[in-house]
Amino acid sequence: MTARRFFSLGAALLVIGLLILFVRFSGENLVMVLMPYGLVGLGLLFLVSPNLIPSNADHTVQFIGEYRQNYFQESIPVKTIFMGVGDVELDFSQLDLPLGDSALKIVCFAAGIQLKFDQDSAYRIQSNAFVSEVRENELKQEFIVAPYEKNSLHYEGSDRRLNIEIHSFISDISIS
């Protein structure tokens, strides 16, 4: 979401919260009195939150939509991806990793995650999800309340490795 959308959403929540507070201030129902304060607080959070995350941070936040990234350089500029609902497409096929371990974390509620690697890549994928479906080439596996972990063939002997952690409620992971 852009800063303008955050501002619009925050302003709308703030106005709705103030209207409900004005209409329901009689105190008959405690939930109806406290809910507007929560909406006002949520609206203020959305109004202020674009300024809390610096533009040069090593993470990205996206609530709804798609996140696509092709990696060509030696380092991974985004270390953590926060996603609400949407698709994450990451292409590591032309990535030249630096020496040592590089880490990437994906935190989402429900997402379709597509990961592309070249044949000589050294990577580890760890997924903790309530429900997950993993497709690798022709193999399809489904997991419910079970972690998934996969190491590439070259992972153990390589000095340039990529560790990918996926934390989600529902995930659909495609590895190619």
12-21, 87-96, 121-130, 160-169: range with lowest mean pLDDT:
12-21
Phi, psi for 130 (deg, rounded to 5): -70, -50
Integer Cα distance of 115 and 118 in angstroms: 10
The mean predicted confidence, pLDDT, of the chain is 79
The answer to whether the CB of 133 falls within 8 A of the CB of 173 is yes
The CA-atom distances, in angstroms, between 46 and each of 41, 75, 133, 165 are: 9, 31, 33, 27
pLDDT at 26: 60
DSSP E strand boundaries for 71-159: 80-91, 100-116, 123-136, 139-144, 148-151
pLDDT at 125: 92
Integer Cα distance of 111 and 161 in angstroms: 24
More confident residue, 9 or 121: 121
Residue 32, pLDDT above cutoff 70: no
The model's pLDDT over 49-76, given as tens digits with 9 standing for 90+, comes to: 555 555 555 778 777 888 888 776 666 6
More confident residue, 69 or 3: 69
